[in-house]
Amino acid sequence: MESELLRLSGVAKYFGEVEALRYVDLEITPGQVVGLVGGNGAGKTTLLRLMAGVIEPTSGEVMFRNSPVSGMRRRLGVVPESTGLYSRLTAWENIRYHSRMYGIDDKIAWTRVVKYAQELEITDSLSRHTKGFSRGMRQKTAIIRALAHSPDILLLDEPTAGLDVTSARTVRKLVGQIRDSGGTVIYSTHHLAEAQQVCDRIIIVHNGTIRADGTPKQLIEATNQSSLEDAYVFLTSDKARARIEDDKKEGKLSKWWRIFLTGKTPEIEEVAEDE
């Protein structure tokens, strides 16, 4: 059996009196694309933040290779839904800045960047300032930035949100290539069809709880339904709660989510342009 990369044990998260997640137990092993699927307010973003070590659980523990994940963020690559690129820098300068903070030599970073830029078809745009980038170009740049320090796990929060069909397909193709080369990806999305297409394993999150965890076939069989969509509806039939991530207390966390995971510091954070 492959050794686990990431483990969540009895994890619960409260924001004040609001219960965002309730006693989550998960294990992530290498070489998988693991989908976190759920609607707005399900708890996916909170779960990703916990996995990334950006926020601490109210109870339970999040461990990366038997060490607290909060001290192992250098081993993770994260692409938040909001890319937070510096508009006055070129794509390469954004990536290089991030890589230097991880102690990666420019030559090594450049070699990796060229490889992923070719796969994502943005090689010609590496020298362009990101201010005029489309949503797709910004997302691709953020993905390369997250991969440049060769992380053990790539965490993607709604990676194809707002992308055109071609760009979304290119991103999904890259995710498959990372998996095929032995990499591990946590793929958060509210699109069930996309998760079924991309992910080896699907974790359904609803109202702060894990409702199911398995392959599409396993989820269908466990619920005695005829399709994955029917299985999802069956498992999430209770009324969805309001989106917790929009709470005022989450505003500051959202800010730090971008700062910590893209290498930005508070002193220069205002320079970044955000969608």
Give tens-digit pLDDT for 201-236.
Answer: 999 999 999 999 999 999 999 999 999 999 999 999
* Number of helices (H), then strands (E), in the chain: 9, 12
Q: Spell out the domain ranges in the chain.
A: 6-264
**The pLDDT of residue 81:** 79
Asked if residue 243 has pLDDT above 80, the reply is: no
CATH number of the structural domain 6-264:
3.40.50.300
Q: Of 134, 210, 140, 202, which Cα lies nearest the Cα of 169?
A: 140
At residue 148 the predicted structure's pLDDT band, cuts being 50, 70 and 90, is very high
| DSSP symbol at 129 | B
Could you read off the pLDDT of 158-195 as tens digits, one per residue?
998 878 899 899 999 999 999 999 999 999 998 899 99
Around Cβ 98, how many Cβ atoms within 10 Å? 24
Amino acid at the residue 21:
L
Residue with tokens 């080369």: 181
Helix/strand/coil for 61:
strand
User: pTM here?
Assistant: 0.84
Helix/strand/coil for 154:
strand
Pick the range with the lowest mean pLDDT from 61-75, 86-100, 118-132, 256-270: 256-270
Asked if residue 256 has pLDDT above 80, the reply is: no
Query: What is the average pLDDT across 15-36?
Result: 93
**The pLDDT of residue 253:** 45
Strands 33-37 and 184-189: parallel
Q: How far apart, in whole angstroms, are the C-alpha atoms of residue 181 and residue 204?
A: 26
Q: How far apart, in whole angstroms, are the C-alpha atoms of residue 93 and residue 145?
A: 10
**The pLDDT of residue 72:** 85
**The pLDDT of residue 129:** 95
**The pLDDT of residue 258:** 54
Q: CA 251, 148, 61: angle at the middle one, nearest 5?
A: 50
CA distances to 94, 97, 175 from 34, rounded to whole Å, are 28, 29, 11
Backbone angles phi, psi at 46, to 5 degrees: -60, -40
Please check whether residue 127 is in contact with residue 92, taking contact to mean a CB–CB distance below 8 angstroms. Answer: yes
At residue 41 the predicted structure's pLDDT band, cuts being 50, 70 and 90, is confident
More confident: 38 or 249: 38
Helix/strand/coil for 122:
coil
Q: How far apart, in whole angstroms, are the C-alpha atoms of residue 69 and residue 50?
A: 8
Backbone angles phi, psi at 8, to 5 degrees: -115, 125
Instruction: Label residue 257 exposed, middle or buried (CB < 10 Å: 0-12, 13-18, 19+).
Output: buried
Backbone angles phi, psi at 145, to 5 degrees: -55, -40
Backbone angles phi, psi at 82, to 5 degrees: -95, 115
More confident: 71 or 197: 197
